[in-house]
Each structure stands twice: as C-alpha cells, then as structure tokens.
Amino acid sequence: MSERLVLGIQPVRELCRTPAAGSARVLLDRAGGPALGALARFAAGCGARVERIPRAELDRLASGVAHQGVAAWAPPLRVGSAQDVEPGRDAPLVVLDGITDPQNFGATIRSAVALGSGSVLWAEHASAPLSPATFRASAGAVEHARLLRARSLRAALSALGERGWLTVALQSDAPGELASVDLRGPVAIVVGAEHRGISRAVRRACRLEARLAMRGRLGSLNASVAAALALYEIRRQEAHRPAGLVP
C-alpha cells in the first residue's frame, strides 16, 4: 500500500511520537521560522528524514488543506476489522454511521482518543476517507487511535450484542437520557451524521437508544461533540459509580 500524506504542525508532531517516525519523510517550508525549526529538530530526533522544500511545493501537495508549512509522507495506518474488537481493549467503542465529512470524522477520532479507548469503528461504505483532511482535523489523534472497519455496521453491532456488549444508539428523540443507563460494562456508542442521523437498520441492531441531556434550543450536535459528551458520561460513571442506574 502507498504512503499517506500528513499535513500540519500538530499532526506531524504526533506522527513523530509513534514508531512510524522512523519511516517518515518530513517536508518543511524552506522559509519557515522558529516553530518549524523546532519541529525539524524534534522530527530528526525521532528518526524521521527531514527535508526543506519551497512553500509552493507544499501548497501543491496539500491541494487546499491547511499545511502550516509542514507535510510528511508516512506509512499507511493500520486498519483492523469489526472481528478484531476486544472488550478489554476497545471499550468504550465509538461507532460512526454515515459520517462523510472529513472534518467531523477527524474531530470524532480526536474525541475518542482523548476521552475513550481510542477505538473507532465505521462502515466501509458511506464514510469519510482516511485522508489528509481527516488527519488534520484529528490534530494528530489518528496516530494514536485504533481504527476498525466493518463491511456491515448492522451485522457488527449485532455480533457485539451477542458477545455481551451494550450497544447504544445516540438519538435526540430517544425516550431516556444516556445518564440513566448503566454504562459500566463494555459499551459501544453509535453516533450518526448531524442531519441524517443513524440509519434504521443500525438503530434496530442496537440494544437501546438514548439521548444526551440537552436543555437549549438546538436538538442535535455534530458527531465529535456528541461522542465526546457520551464518552465523558461513561468515564464519569466509571469514576463515581452512581446508584439508581438501569441497564
């Protein structure tokens, strides 16, 4: 498989923190200032090959994605399958249904890494690609995520349910709030696109539906914010073990 392009200071910095740095080629704006000089030293110290090139060449590589004067060619990300999901490793799991916007996809990966296990599952089709825009939107979090892809989310969620996972579809019209659900076991939180929501087939494959506690005038949130709030609730329950929750 061919190399992938990573753009932006923070995404490249996070790439350099991983074992992939030894196989990476970091390209820096030849006229860059102290910030790029510090990144060059950091990347070289991590084993990456560092080159200085004209900014025009970076512009051409980026094709409109903001690059901040730095790009890197890196080995492809490892993407597992739904069959690889493990309770001790991947819970809580964020499941994305129909997230086609790279910005939202990348930001949701960032939420999963910051607040969850870092494991994200999505369908092979009708999803944003693992592209430079996605890597940029994740602010480098994709380098630390566990990426999992399924041929069918419906089948994958049904299989998780049979294995004892609590599969929860986040729905703004669900009768109960997420905070009233016992989330202290292996949980998979399913998030849909802001306008289209979760597909009917995927909703049916989930054990239950729940909504986030929203008191304002808006009825929905984008995927990354919804995932972050759901993961925060899971972590809160793990820490405080509140009484009176229902399975």
Give residue-wise pLDDT tens across range 139-184: 999 999 999 999 999 999 999 999 999 999 999 889 999 999 999 8
Closest by CA position to 120, among listed 2, 223, 9: 223
Q: Could you tell me what percentage of the chain is helix, strand and coil, using 3-state DSSP and rounding each to the nearest 5?
A: 40, 25, 35
Residues 60 and 88 in one domain: no
- Say if residue 206's pLDDT is above 60: yes
55 and 31 in contact (C-beta within 8 Å)?
yes
Per-residue model confidence as pLDDT tens digits over 34-86:
999 999 999 999 999 999 999 999 999 999 999 999 999 999 999 999 999 99
Residue 207 buriedness (CB in 10 A; 0-12 / 13-18 / 19+): middle
Strand order in 25-29's β-sheet?
A: 4-7, 70-74, 25-29, 49-53
Residue 112 CB coordination number (10 Å): 31
Domain hosting 26: range is: 4-74
Report the CATH number that the domain containing residue 57 is assigned in CATH.
3.30.1330.30
Domain boundary among 30, 45, 74: 74
Report the CATH number that the domain containing residue 159 is assigned in CATH.
3.40.1280.10
Residues 117 and 177 in one domain: yes
Share of the chain above pLDDT 90, in %: 85
Domain boundary among 24, 49, 74: 74
Residues 11 and 107 in one domain: no
DSSP 63-86: TTS--TTEEEEEPPPPEEEGGG--
Looking only at the bridges linking them, the beta strands covering 70-74 and 79-81 are unpaired
Query: What is the value of pTM for the model shown?
Result: 0.91
C-alpha dist (Å) from residue 106 to 92, 111, 147, 165, 221:
18, 9, 12, 25, 15
